[in-house]
Amino acid sequence: MAKLKLCVFISGRGSNLQSLIEACADDGYPAQIALVISNKAGIQGLERAKAAGIQTYVINIKDFNSPNSFDISMIEAIKSFNVDLICLAGYMRILSDNFVDHWHDRIVNIHPSLLPSFRGLDVQQRAIDAGVRFSGCTVHYVRRDMDTGPIILQAVVPVLNNDNAYTLTERILIQEHRIYPLAIKLIAQGRTTIKNERVLIDGATHPDSILINPEV
């Protein structure tokens, strides 16, 4: 069975990219990274891709006369690699409506909160400031509005009394590295179905325990 071909979009150090690289290194994993695209040159994520022998492109909107020409350039680059799925992994640029529509149900993102709560930036500090007892991360299909779309997987971590944005971010990141490769695996295996903007996962089971934070 042919492996699902991925294009990963990055803008920074590429830690989630690295988790996908490591997952794809397993012969039994049903996906492979065909291309990595960045909107910034000289970042660590590009070095990670090059070290893994993955083709990279830097496509910066500043180099184009219009957003439309930028979109066309990205679409053509992706098409030339026969990509099946686009994975946003810390890509810090909002995709145009035309691009999202063109790749409808073929773009996924990982976000460091339990969506739909805390969309956007600075989410860990906002979660702490709001006094929530749990935070986490979400893998979801991408829609036009930022950080929206059918949710595939979520992982939950407790917010601790002594947490700051850094400590909470690092604890969530561990879970990001677990659930992003798992979500891609489920898609590649054909186990995800979107029905009424909700993701149904074939053969999925659910936790049978309840978490309470703090425990008193």
pLDDT digits (tens, 9 = 90+) for 82-141: 999 999 999 999 999 999 999 999 999 999 999 999 999 999 999 999 999 999 999 999
Give 195's pLDDT tier (boundaries 50, 70, 90). Answer: very high
Closest listed residue to residue 139, CA positions, set 119, 112, 102: 112
The pLDDT tens digits of the residues spanning 201-213 come to: 999 999 989 999 9
Per-residue confidence (pLDDT) for residue 144, from 0 to 100: 97
Residues 6+ apart with CB under 8 A from 103: 86, 142
Do 98 and 156 share a structural domain? no
Structure tokens at 128: 């702490």
Cα separation, 129 vs 49, in Å, equals: 36
Q: Is the pLDDT of residue 16 over 80?
A: yes
Convert the pLDDT of each residue in 62-84 to its tens digit: 888 888 888 888 898 898 999 99
Q: What phi and psi values does residue 34 have, to the nearest 5 degrees?
A: -90, -25
Average pLDDT (160-179) is 98
Selection from 15, 20, 60 nearest residue 37 by Cα: 60
Residue 67: the pLDDT is 82
**Which letter, b or e, does each residue of 20-54 get, where b requires 16 or more Cβ atoms within 10 Å of its Cβ?**
bbebbeeeebbbbbbbbbbbbeebebbebbeebeb
Q: What pLDDT is recorded for position 41?
A: 95
pLDDT per residue as tens digits for the range 21-66: 999 999 999 999 999 999 999 999 999 999 999 999 999 888 888 8
From 52, 76, 103, give the residue that closes a domain.
103
Amino acid of residue 82: N
Domain boundary among the residues 73, 103, 133 is at 103
Place of tokens 């489920």: 186
Q: Which residue has the higher pLDDT, 90 or 1?
A: 90
Query: Are residues 28 and 11 located together in one domain of the fold?
Result: yes
User: Is residue 214, in this structure, part of any structural domain at all?
Assistant: no
The predicted pLDDT at position 180 comes to: 98
Same domain, yes or no, for 168 and 91? no
Instruction: Write out the residue range of the structural domain in which residue 61 sits.
Output: 1-103
What is d(CA 48, CA 14) in angstroms, rounded to the nearest whole number? 7
Active-site positions read 111
By three-state DSSP, how is residue 81 classified?
A: coil
CATH number at residue 86: 3.40.50.170
Same domain assignment for residues 119 and 136: yes
pTM above 0.75, yes or no: yes
Q: Which residues pair with 201 in a beta bridge?
A: 192
